[in-house]
């Protein structure tokens, strides 16, 4: 669809929703009676029905498995994904880039699946392995690694707005919040089917009442910020329940239902009543106590709670009571609750969300997995499939992968494998050096944003992968997993800005070198390297990390104590393992960049470490060779070759 046509549809939708919204306002009846000398409002609501115009939007259409398209080049595709991508490229008179070289491909897959670089030995083994199934074997090895859950768990924790504190002024610790982080890691590593993964996070306490881990899974709903010391518990409950409802809608359905908590959605066919009926699923599973955090749902814990509609979203203006119901626009089959008083409403909600007839859940998670591999989803607004969201670049591919996911029993690892085995994923991210390439120029000119994927999108490492890769290169990364979040030392100038005791360095020094996902997640203070490289603060669900480029990033990577420590440890290994300058440069490149230096890099690096050694020797440094390698490592850690994945 062209941009002009899309703008026209958005404009028409806005005018239509505005008319319906205005009519709804007039249908809100307000009458007043005098009680003890006070005016008491008695308010009710009505809403407009969903019609065929509303259901025409692509996201609400049923998922149908499309036929695999024919392509002119029958040699390039390795699986159905490539047919969909190539068919679109051929319509634009484009053809895909050549396959990436093996070191680049190995590094790409390693960071994508486990968030860590390959070791020099793994690089040597893969490059020298000429068996036809070498690439597939490598993928299977990484998918089976427990480090897979530690990598992909962070993606889900971003969506779940996970932290180990409440946020707001006092930012008090939630002592058991880490259990949810561990549950996510273990569930993903075990390839728990996605429908079960969703069900336990919405209704684990109902599905498996005797399983403590299943109850921990419901922390997904309550991982967001909270203010336990607020004066009004009614206000706290209202804000908390609205946040839970909004998060469930945008993460699991890719719908911005939260926009309807104060008024009918201005663009999407989601009424304010839809929002409060959706919220009613969770109302009785949460009971608040002053000055106490709440982390898990409990079936019927607040049996007296009465779900209501709130006029203008104001907690002081409750109106009619509402009953739990699925959002109408996402429920074309008009599924309703059975025996709605039985207390298993959230279980029915989970079943409805993951029912194959629901067009949103499978599309949503497939799109997110694609996004995390390619930087941008087939729909570039992963938490908004509504009218104001983007349309899919390859709608047939999206539906093909969604139906395939369901056919594969909701296995996310099978989805990963299919994506990574495609020729689309294996293309080069940049042209060959020192060689004219008219085809590459055509790709850039025709598709500058690379939405058609004629080449692999070059992407910067996320903050956690940067830190973990530096620890891995220096040989200090520890394998210990699970347990409460750890606190590495922070500069005194930073800890002085916190309330007393909010960041106390963990006593066990080895814990300072654990993977980044295990670093204590405080809302009011992100670990400095994470904050510098755009990790979200966990105050709301984060579907996309938008990378920034700032001078502070280079200054931190060049001058921080963390970088200096990692660089010195790299030098320790290199000096021990290699005895010539040439061998030491090669060893440093292999550790940090996972590849050999090219001829120019080798020449320049040898000159650099010799100059550094001479300079430092003249200054009285007792280990000038070691210091020269240390400075080379600092430079490489600060290079695009380290920070970006080709």
pLDDT-based confidence at residue 2 (cuts at 50, 70, 90): low
| pLDDT tens profile 233-247 | 999 999 999 999 999
Q: E strands along 519-572, which residues?
A: none
Give the percent of the chain with pLDDT over 90: 85
Least confident of 508-512, 541-545, 618-622: 618-622
How, if at all, do strands 38-43 and 30-35 pair? antiparallel
Exposed, middle or buried by CB within 10 Å (0-12, 13-18, 19+), for 33?
Answer: exposed
Report, as an integer, the average pLDDT of 145-162. 98
Neighbours of 314 (CB within 10 A): 11
Report, as an integer, the average pLDDT of 566-580. 96
pLDDT at residue 37 tops 50: no
Report, as an integer, the average pLDDT of 561-576. 96
pLDDT-based confidence at residue 437 (cuts at 50, 70, 90): confident
| Secondary structure of 385-414 as H, E, C letters | CCCCCCCCCCHHHHHHHHHHHHHCCCCHHH
Rounded to 5°, the CA angle 589-590-595 comes to 90
Instruction: Tell me the H-state helices in 297-447.
Output: 345-353, 361-374, 395-407, 412-420, 438-446
Report, as an integer, the average pLDDT of 44-57. 86
Q: What is the pLDDT of residue 27?
A: 39
Report, as an integer, the average pLDDT of 334-344. 79
| pLDDT tens profile 480-535 | 999 999 999 998 888 888 778 889 999 999 999 999 999 999 999 999 999 999 99
Which has more pLDDT, 428 or 334? 428
Specify which residues 34 forms β-bridges with.
39
Placement of tokens 């006092």 in the chain: 170
The token pair at 474 is 């220096």
Q: What is the pLDDT of residue 4?
A: 52
Q: What is the pLDDT of residue 14?
A: 52
Q: What is the pLDDT of residue 410?
A: 98
| pLDDT tens profile 102-139 | 999 999 999 999 999 999 999 999 999 999 999 999 99
Instruction: Tell me the H-state helices in 163-232.
Output: 178-189, 194-207, 212-217
- 80 close to 74: Cβ distance less than 8 angstroms: no
pLDDT at residue 366 tops 50: yes
Residues contacting 424, CB < 8 A, separation 6+:
81, 82, 85, 96, 453
Give the Cα separation of 337 and 344 in Å (integer).
Answer: 9
pLDDT at residue 442 tops 70: yes
φ, ψ of residue 490 to 5 degrees: the values are -125, 155
Specify which residues 486 forms β-bridges with.
519
Q: What is the pLDDT of residue 33?
A: 35
CA distances in angstroms from 129 to 125, 134, 294, 506, 597, listed in the order given: 6, 6, 52, 43, 21
Q: What is the pLDDT of residue 16?
A: 56
Residues contacting 508, CB < 8 A, separation 6+:
none
pLDDT at residue 183 tops 60: yes
Kindly report the average pLDDT of the chain as a whole number. Answer: 92
Report, as an integer, the average pLDDT of 403-431. 97
| pLDDT tens profile 405-418 | 999 999 999 999 99
Give the Cα separation of 197 and 153 in Å (integer).
Answer: 12
The token pair at 180 is 């949810």
Whole-number CA gyration radius for the chain:
27
pLDDT at residue 576 tops 70: yes
Which has more pLDDT, 36 or 294? 294
Q: Whose CA is closest to 208, among 134, 296, 79?
A: 296
Q: Whose CA is closest to 126, among 532, 597, 594?
A: 594
- 514 close to 486: Cβ distance less than 8 angstroms: yes
pLDDT at residue 47 tops 90: no
Q: Whose CA is closest to 646, among 456, 369, 443?
A: 456
């Amino acid at each position: 669809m062209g941009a002009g046509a899309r703008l026209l549809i958005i404009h028409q939708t806005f005018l239509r929703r505005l008319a319906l919204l205005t009519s709804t306002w007039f249908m809100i009846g307000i009458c007043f009676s005098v009680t003890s000398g006070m005016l008491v409002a008695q308010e009710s609501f009505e809403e407009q029905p969903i019609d065929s115009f509303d259901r025409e939007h692509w996201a609400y259409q049923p998922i149908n498995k499309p036929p695999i398209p024919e392509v002119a080049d029958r040699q390039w595709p390795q699986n159905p994904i490539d047919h969909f991508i190539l068919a679109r490229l051929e319509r634009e008179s484009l053809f895909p880039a050549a396959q990436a070289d093996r070191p680049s491909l190995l590094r790409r897959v390693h960071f994508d699946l486990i968030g860590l670089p390959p070791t020099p030995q793994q690089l040597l083994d893969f490059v020298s392995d000429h068996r036809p199934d070498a690439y597939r074997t490598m993928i299977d090895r990484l998918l089976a690694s427990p480090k897979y859950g530690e990598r992909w768990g962070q993606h889900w924790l971003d969506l779940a707005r996970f932290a180990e504190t409440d946020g707001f002024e006092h930012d008090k610790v939630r002592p058991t919040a880490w259990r949810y982080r561990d549950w996510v890691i273990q569930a993903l590593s075990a390839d728990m089917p996605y429908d079960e993964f969703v069900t336990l996070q919405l209704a684990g306490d109902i599905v498996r009442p005797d399983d403590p881990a299943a109850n921990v899974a419901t922390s997904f709903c309550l991982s967001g910020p909270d203010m336990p010391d607020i004066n009004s518990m009614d206000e706290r409950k209202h804000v908390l329940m609205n946040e839970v409802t909004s998060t469930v809608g945008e993460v699991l359905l890719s719908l911005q239902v939260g926009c309807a908590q104060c008024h009918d959605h201005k663009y999407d066919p989601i009424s304010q009543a839809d929002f409060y009926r959706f919220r009613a699923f969770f109302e009785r599973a949460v009971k608040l106590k002053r000055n106490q955090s709440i982390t898990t749902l409990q079936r019927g814990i607040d049996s007296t709670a009465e779900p209501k509609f709130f006029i203008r979203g104001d907690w002081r203006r409750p109106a009619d009571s509402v009953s739990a119901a699925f959002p109408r626009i996402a429920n074309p089959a008009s599924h309703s609750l059975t025996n709605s008083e039985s207390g298993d409403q959230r279980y029915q909600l989970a079943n409805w969300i993951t029912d194959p007839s629901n067009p949103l859940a499978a599309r949503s998670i497939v799109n997110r997995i694609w996004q995390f591999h390619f930087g941008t989803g087939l729909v570039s607004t992963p938490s908004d499939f509504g009218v104001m969201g983007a349309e899919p670049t390859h709608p047939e591919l999206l539906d093909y992968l969604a139906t395939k996911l369901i056919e594969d029993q909701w296995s996310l690892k099978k989805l990963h494998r299919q994506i990574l085995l495609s020729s689309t994923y294996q293309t080069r991210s940049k042209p060959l050096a020192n060689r004219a390439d008219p085809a590459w120029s055509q790709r850039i000119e025709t598709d500058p944003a690379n939405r058609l994927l004629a080449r692999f999108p070059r992407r910067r490492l996320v903050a956690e992968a940067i830190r973990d890769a530096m620890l891995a290169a220096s040989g200090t990364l520890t394998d210990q997993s699970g347990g409460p979040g750890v606190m590495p030392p922070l500069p005194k100038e930073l800890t002085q800005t916190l309330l007393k005791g909010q960041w106390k360095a963990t006593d066990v020094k080895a814990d300072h070198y654990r993977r980044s996902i295990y670093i204590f997640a405080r809302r009011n203070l992100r670990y400095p390297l994470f904050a510098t490289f755009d990790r979200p603060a966990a105050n709301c669900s984060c579907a996309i990390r938008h990378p920034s480029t700032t001078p502070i990033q280079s200054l931190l990577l060049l001058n921080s104590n963390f970088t200096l420590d990692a660089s010195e440890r790299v030098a320790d290994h290199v000096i021990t393992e290699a005895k010539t300058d040439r061998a030491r440069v090669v060893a440093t490149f292999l550790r940090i960049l996972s590849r050999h230096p090219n001829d120019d890099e080798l020449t320049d690096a040898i000159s650099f470490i010799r100059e550094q050694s001479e300079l430092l020797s003249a200054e009285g440094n007792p280990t000038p060779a070691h210091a020269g390698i240390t400075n080379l490592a600092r430079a490489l850690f600060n290079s695009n070759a380290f920070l970006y994945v080709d």
